[in-house]
């Protein structure tokens, strides 16, 4: 993992001092609400529906066991003992007191963490593949580049007041697990004809009110030019992005209005003209950051493990054995090193708001990370956790511990693994509840055999058109809308993230809350009735089309 050097630590420490001063001036009445607002936002502090919320950065979703313990500690001491994993791989505290935030940030700074730029109109936390560094299909590890971008973007004096927020994702693998096409800028690591490493640069994607996939700006950007090019692109956006209407201020509106050719030309011109060569990355600098993410000391003898059958623990009941088999299938992921696996910990279930994790659980996760995964944990944009480096032979023991802690939900990628925004329970912008809908679906689809039979099926929930729950890129997306002062839900189907991303299509008129679960059931039943042998929901949808689902739903109306 990357460790702070003296520059990193100085900046974070001085940032804490700055925010302490600003908070004190605000509490003394020297700074008005309006003057304090942009200052607190640049430090991740929101005022939500009922309480403040602090969004702590988890850069590119990588966090050490020690940092996880600190997160547990601050959640327990300064909040109600619960944290919430977000779709930008961050961790939110939903009820801190404003006057405590400088102390929280100081505690975080001691373990090389911060909340800088987790909100506001600036470059946000860079996200990546949760399998970074361990994925078998990786071209190069994206984490070093994420870290370089993190540093460059942190307190960048020119880009702290962009027209709107700016989200960057980096993927280093053949398969995109970082949703690069729905980001303001998406970078994919590629190699050119002569084997040099660089990036394919995409821009102008996003969800929200104007869901749109990004377009390609450049087929190959040499890695040394990563920051010089981003600086040119950000400058074009800073100068030309709309500021008259915040709903039209994201870069996707600029790219769409100018057209990709014209936008590309503007960026390239700025890049040629304005490059500051001091930002060009020296190979030794790149190599030094790669070194920070060097693989852990995998056991040589683990290569032989793969041939040994994995046994469920002897004491398991038949039901537990079934969960164990499902867990191996859904929550255990391939690893580039023989004898190792990456293990997902689902933060989902009937009793758990999607993405929530308690302080006690965080501490156990830290213990498991130390005992089974070289002390490292990942957060995922699907609001789950990953232990990236588990030895295969340890899987039974780890499963038993996860099971006893209620953290072995074997449902990764299934209907009961929703991405879900906070919705009406916390968010001031919400039209509808999201968490109770997730709960109702968990209850209805509690039968594991049934959700297994459905296979890969992403269902996501957003409480309003801002789409924080990524409902557009789910096979089944639920969107809260307001109708005559009441919450209704629009259902969209056919969306997808990953290599062939697609935006879902509206299935029909919105339904009231009590009809959401029955409507999802009918969509699912129609899929089961129509699918061919081994066909996924997505493939079935592509074959039979939206109309077929519409007709099926209308029959029941």
Partner 1 sequence: MLVRMTDRGIVVDAASVDAASPGRSVDADTPPEDVAAAGLPSAEPLVIRFASAGDGRGFTLARLLRTRWSYTGALRASGAIQVDQLFFLRRCGFDEFELPAQVDAETVRASLLRFQAAYQPVVNDPAVLRDWSSGGPE
Of 469 and 494, CB closest to ligand SF4:
469
Two tokens, residue 292: 């920070």
Sign of CA dihedral 360, 362, 365, 370: negative
- Farthest CA pair distance, the chain: 69
Q: Where are the alpha helices (DSSP H) in 373-457?
A: 395-404, 435-444, 448-454
Which of 177-185, 254-262, 280-288, 340-348 is the region at the interface with partner 1 (rule: CB under 8 A)? 280-288
Task: Give the shortest CB-243-to-partner 1 separation in angstroms.
Answer: 7
State the binding partner of 70 from ligand SF4, partner 1, none, CB within 5 to 8 A by kind.
none
Q: Which residues, numbered 329-358, are part of the site for ligand SF4 (CB under 6 A)?
A: none
State the binding partner of 427 from partner 1, ligand SF4, none, CB within 5 to 8 A by kind.
ligand SF4
Task: Give the shortest CB-48-to-partner 1 separation in angstroms.
Answer: 21
Binder among 21, 304, 329, 499 for partner 1 (CB under 8 A): 21
Task: Give the shortest CB-86-to-ligand SF4 separation in angstroms.
Answer: 9
Residues 20 and 98: their CA atoms lie apart, in Å, by 11
Under the binding rule (CB under 8 A), the answer on residue 90 touching partner 1 is: no
Burial (CB < 10 A; 0-12, 13-18, 19+), residue 428, is exposed
Under the binding rule (CB under 8 A), the answer on residue 24 touching partner 1 is: no
3-state SS, residue 239: helix
Q: Which residues, numbered 227-256, are part of the site for ligand SF4 (CB under 6 A)?
A: none
State the binding partner of 422 from partner 1, ligand SF4, none, CB within 5 to 8 A by kind.
ligand SF4
The CB density around residue 192, as the number of other CB atoms within 10 Å, is 11
Which of 86-94, 235-243, 431-439, 475-483 is the region at the interface with partner 1 (rule: CB under 8 A)? 235-243
Residues 531 and 526: their CA atoms lie apart, in Å, by 8
Residues 326 and 411: their CA atoms lie apart, in Å, by 8
Binder among 245, 277, 307, 317 for partner 1 (CB under 8 A): 277
**Per-residue three-class SS string for 445-489:** CCCHHHHHHHCCCCEEEECCCCCCCCHHHCCEEEEEEEECCEEEE
Under the binding rule (CB under 8 A), the answer on residue 33 touching partner 1 is: no
Binder among 464, 491, 493, 552 for ligand SF4 (CB under 6 A): 464
DSSP 282: P
Q: Within a 13 Å sphere around the CA of 308, how many CA atoms are in the beta-carbon half?
A: 17
Residues 431 and 26: their CA atoms lie apart, in Å, by 31
Under the binding rule (CB under 8 A), the answer on residue 23 touching partner 1 is: no
Binder among 3, 28, 272, 278 for partner 1 (CB under 8 A): 278
375 phi, psi to nearest 5 deg: 75, 20
Under the binding rule (CB under 8 A), the answer on residue 119 touching partner 1 is: no
Two tokens, residue 154: 């942190």
Task: Give the shortest CB-34-to-ligand SF4 separation in angstroms.
Answer: 21
Binder among 111, 140, 155, 544 for partner 1 (CB under 8 A): 155
Binder among 196, 276, 304, 447 for partner 1 (CB under 8 A): 276
- H or E element: which one contains 202? strand 197-203
- Write out the residues near partner 1 by the rule CB under 8 A: 5-7, 10-11, 14-15, 17-18, 21-22, 25, 35, 38-39, 121, 151-152, 154-163, 227, 235, 238-239, 243, 273-274, 276-285, 287-288
- Write out the residues near ligand SF4 by the rule CB under 6 A: 421-423, 427, 429-430, 462-464, 466-469
């Amino acid at each position: 993992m990357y460790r702070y050097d003296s520059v990193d630590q100085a900046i974070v420490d001085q940032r804490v001092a700055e925010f302490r001063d600003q908070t004190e001036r605000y509490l003394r009445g020297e700074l008005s609400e309006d003057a304090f607002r942009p200052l607190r936002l640049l430090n991740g502090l929101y005022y939500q529906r009922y309480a403040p919320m602090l969004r702590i950065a988890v850069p590119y979703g990588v966090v050490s066991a020690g940092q996880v313990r600190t997160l547990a500690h601050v959640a327990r001491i300064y909040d109600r003992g619960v944290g919430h994993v977000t779709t930008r791989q961050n961790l939110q505290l939903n009820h801190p007191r404003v006057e405590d935030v400088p102390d929280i940030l100081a505690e975080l700074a001691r373990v090389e963490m911060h909340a800088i730029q987790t909100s506001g109109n600036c470059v946000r936390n860079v996200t990546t593949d949760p399998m970074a560094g361990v994925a078998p299909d990786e071209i190069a590890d994206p984490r070093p580049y994420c870290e370089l971008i993190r540093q460059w973007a942190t307190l960048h004096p020119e880009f702290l007041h962009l027209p709107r927020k700016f989200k960057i994702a980096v993927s280093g693998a053949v398969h995109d697990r970082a949703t690069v096409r729905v980001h303001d800028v998406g970078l994919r690591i590629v190699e050119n004809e002569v084997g040099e490493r660089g990036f394919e640069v995409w821009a102008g994607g996003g969800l929200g009110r104007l869901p749109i996939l990004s377009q390609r700006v450049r087929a190959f950007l040499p890695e040394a030019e990563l920051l010089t090019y981003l600086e040119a692109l950000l400058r074009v956006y800073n100068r030309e992005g709309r500021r008259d209407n915040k709903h039209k201020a994201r870069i996707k509106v600029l790219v769409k209005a100018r057209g990709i050719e014209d936008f590309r030309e503007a960026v390239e011109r700025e890049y040629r003209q304005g490059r500051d060569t001091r930002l060009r990355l020296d190979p030794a600098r790149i190599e030094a950051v790669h070194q920070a993410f060097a693989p852990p000391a995998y056991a040589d003898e683990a290569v032989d493990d793969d041939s040994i059958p994995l046994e469920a623990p002897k004491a398991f009941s038949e039901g537990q054995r079934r969960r164990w088999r499902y867990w191996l299938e859904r929550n255990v992921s391939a690893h580039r090193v023989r004898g190792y696996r990456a293990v997902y910990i689902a933060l989902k279930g009937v009793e758990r708001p999607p993405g929530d994790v308690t302080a006690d659980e965080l501490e156990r996760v830290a213990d498991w990370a130390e005992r089974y995964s070289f002390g490292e944990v990942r957060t995922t944009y699907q609001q789950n956790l990953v232990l990236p480096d588990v030895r295969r032979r340890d899987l039974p023991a780890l499963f038993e511990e996860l099971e006893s802690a209620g953290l072995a939900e074997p449902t990764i990628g299934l209907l009961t693994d929703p991405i879900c925004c906070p919705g009406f329970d916390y968010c001031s912008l919400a039209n509808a509840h999201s968490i109770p809908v997730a709960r109702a679906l968990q209850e209805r689809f509690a039968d594991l055999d049934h959700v297994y039979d459905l296979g890969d099926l992403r269902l996501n929930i957003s409480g309003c058109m801002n789409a924080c729950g990524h409902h557009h890129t789910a096979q089944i997306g639920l969107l809260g809308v307001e109708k005559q002062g009441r919450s209704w839900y629009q259902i969209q189907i056919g969306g997808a993230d990953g290599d062939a991303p697609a935006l879902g299509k509206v299935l029909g008129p919105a339904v009231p809350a009590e009809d959401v679960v029955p409507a999802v059931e009918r969509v699912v039943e129609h899929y089961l009735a129509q699918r061919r042998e081994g066909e996924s929901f997505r493939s079935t949808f592509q074959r039979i089309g939206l109309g077929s689902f519409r007709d099926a739903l209308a029959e029941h109306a």
